[in-house]
Amino acid sequence: MYFPSKRDWWLGLLIWGLVLLAGVPALLKPGKGQLIIMIAVILFIGWIWFGTGYEISEDQLKISCGPFRQRIPVHEIREIKRTRSPLSAPACSLDRMEIKYGKSKRVMISPSDKENFIKTIIKKSPSVQLDEELRKYV
C-alpha cells in the first residue's frame, strides 16, 4: 500500500519561493548555462517534492524521496512516535513520525494518512510500540 508524504503548504511556499527567487538572475540575464542549471534544480526539487512517499509491501517499508531510496524490513521496526523535528528527513511536512528500527537506526517520515499507515504497520508487525498520540489510530 502506498502512502504519499503530507505536504505543508508553508514549506512548499518557502521552497518554491526560494527556487524562483534564485532563478530571477537566470531570467533577467539569460545565459544557456544558467538556464540549464536552473531547469535542473527545478526538476530535482520537483522530483523530491512530488516523489516523496512510503510503500508498505509484504515485508518491507520502502521510503522514496526523489532519487533517494531506503528499505526497512517491517519486522525490524521497534517503535513509532510523533515528532515535529526539523532535521533533514524524507518528509515534506513537519508533522512527522519517527520510526526506530534495527539496533539503533531511526528515520522520520510524514505519511498523509497516518491512521491507515499505522494500522498497516501494526497488522504486519503487532509488536511495534506506539507512543500515546499514535495509539488512537489502532
Domain-by-domain residue ranges, the chain? 2-135
Query: pTM for the whole thing?
Result: 0.89
Distance (Å, rounded) from C-alpha 124 to C-alpha 133? 20
Q: What is the mean pLDDT of the chain?
A: 93
Distance (Å, rounded) from C-alpha 45 to C-alpha 5? 15
Identify which of 75, 79, 47 has the alpha carbon closest to the alpha carbon of residue 61.
75
Q: Which CATH architecture has domain 2-135?
A: Roll (2.30)
Task: Copy the grid coordinates of residue 63.
Answer: 521510503
Q: Please state the rounded mean pLDDT for residues 114-126.
A: 96
Cβ atoms of 110 and 92 within 8 Å: the answer is yes
Distance (Å, rounded) from C-alpha 29 to C-alpha 75? 54
CA 134 to chain centre: 18
User: What sign does the dihedral 89-91-92-97 (CA atoms) show?
Assistant: negative
H/E run at residue 81: strand 77-83
Q: For position 41, what pLDDT does the model report? A: 87
User: Mean pLDDT: which of 15-24, 34-43, 72-81 is highest?
Assistant: 72-81
pLDDT in tens, 47-105: 999 999 999 999 999 999 999 999 999 999 999 999 999 999 999 999 999 999 999 99
Task: Copy the grid coordinates of residue 27.
Answer: 531570467
Distances 36 to 25, 33, 43, 51 between C-alpha atoms, Å = 13, 5, 11, 22
